[in-house]
């Protein structure tokens, strides 16, 4: 879009994209923590109850990603509207 406009995008758009990337990396880290805490369970039989703190951290990270995704979608829509010819 920057090339179509021949000028850089607003700083808020870049910030929204950066925050979404941070949220993705945070969710990936929480998911690795969740998988790492489940390695001690036996391969067969019912799964053990996982540590609630790990699941809560995963839920918080997922909520942050959802919020960041909403914001970046809005920012990119605004950038598209500014890019389109009038």
**pLDDT by residue (tens digit) across 16-33?**
999 999 999 999 999 998
- pLDDT value of position 65: 97
Q: pLDDT confidence of 49, banded at 50, 70, 90?
A: low
> Which pLDDT score is estimated for 40?
57
* CA–centroid distance for 9 within its chain: 21
List the domain range (segments joined by +) for residue 39.
3-82
Instruction: State the total domains in the chain.
Output: 1
pLDDT tens by residue, 73-84: 999 999 888 888
Among the listed residues 63, 60, 82, the one whose alpha carbon sits nearest the alpha carbon of residue 12: 82
């Amino acid at each position: 879009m920057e090339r179509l406009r021949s000028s850089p995008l607003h700083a808020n758009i870049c910030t929204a994209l950066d925050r979404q990337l941070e949220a993705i990396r945070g969710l990936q880290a929480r998911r690795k923590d969740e998988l790492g805490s489940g390695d001690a369970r036996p391969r067969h039989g019912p799964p053990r109850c996982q540590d609630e703190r790990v699941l809560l951290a995963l839920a918080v990270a997922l909520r942050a990603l959802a919020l960041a995704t909403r914001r970046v979608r809005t920012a990119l829509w605004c950038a598209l509207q500014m890019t389109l010819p009038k």
